[in-house]
Every structure is written in structure tokens, then in C-alpha cells.
Amino acid sequence: MFLRVAEVVAERGTCLRATVGAVIVRGGRIISIGYNGAPPGQPHCEDVGCDVPLKSAGCVRAIHAETNAIIWAAREGISTDRAAMYCTHSPCVSCAVAVVVSGISGYYYLYDYRDPAGLKILYDSGVEYDKVDLNGTRYPTDAEDSESVSGSADHSGHTD
């Protein structure tokens, strides 16, 4: 359900290169949302085009959905500690770092971002993550094992 919301949120994005939506959930409720777009006061990609430096595959004008959602929560004084993030995509490196530092302990997504390095950061930092489909069904990597929560379940002992 939250991933469906993330897809709807993504429709608000204004970056031409990516439509990404993220929602942060705590206690079963959405506490923040974010999408790809220009920071307040900056021109939107859909108006002036994306800003893609040489040697970079990504647009640097837009703030990413995940980081956008985390920063908005910070601005509003909403704790993200032990919250879960539901995002249309797996995170880039920068967003993965923001997820870890924000205390988010679970990350669930629909599509793989082109760079898997962000997932490695989640893994190394003990953030549970999983790729799921819109019906909430996990992809069958560990479907045989009903005890397994996710591919990173071994790291769930991180919290104390």
C-alpha cells in the first residue's frame, strides 16, 4: 500500500530524468513524503532542463525523493528513528547515507536504481531492505524461507 502511495507521490516530481517518490512510515502512518524536484526558489528541470555535469549520469538540480522526505521531516521536527522508507527505487549513495544517518531501519522499493552501491551502504549499516512488487509480495529470492524477513535479515540485530 505504501509503495502505491510512493508511486503516486512520484508523479509530483519535476525532474525530467527520474520520477521517484518516497514515503516515510512510522507506526503504520505516513510521516513524510518526498519526490524528485528542485529546491524551493530554484528553477524546475521541467522548465529549464536538467543539470547534468559531464562524467555524471545524474541530474544535480533536483533533490532526490528520499533525501527530500528525510529533510522535510527534520524541518518539521518529526523523528525518523526506526521508521521505514517506501520508495519507488533503490537509493543512490547519497540518499543511502541520509537514510542510515536518519535512523530509518527499513527500506522497501519497487525498482532498482542503476547504481547498486546505495544498497551496499544499507546492507553494511544494518538497514533492512527488500525489493517488493506492488502487491506487497517479495521477490522470490528467499520466498522458500518463511522465516527470512529479507535478504539482509541477518543484520536485524543491529538495533539494541
* Of 7, 66, 76, 147, catalytic: 66
CB-CB contact of 59 with 45 (8 Å):
yes
How far, in Å, CA of 119 to CA of 125, rounded? 10
How many Cβ atoms sit within 10 Å of the Cβ of residue 54?
4
CB-CB contact of 52 with 75 (8 Å):
no
Going by C-alpha positions, the residue among 77, 92, 89, 103 that lies closest to residue 23 is: 89
Site of interaction with Zn ion (CB under 5 A) = 15, 17, 45, 50, 59, 61-62, 64, 92, 95
76 labelled catalytic: no
Q: How many residues does the chain have?
A: 160
Closer residue to Zn ion (CB): 3 or 45:
45
Closer residue to Zn ion (CB): 9 or 45:
45
Closer residue to Zn ion (CB): 17 or 138:
17
Q: Which residues are catalytic?
A: 66
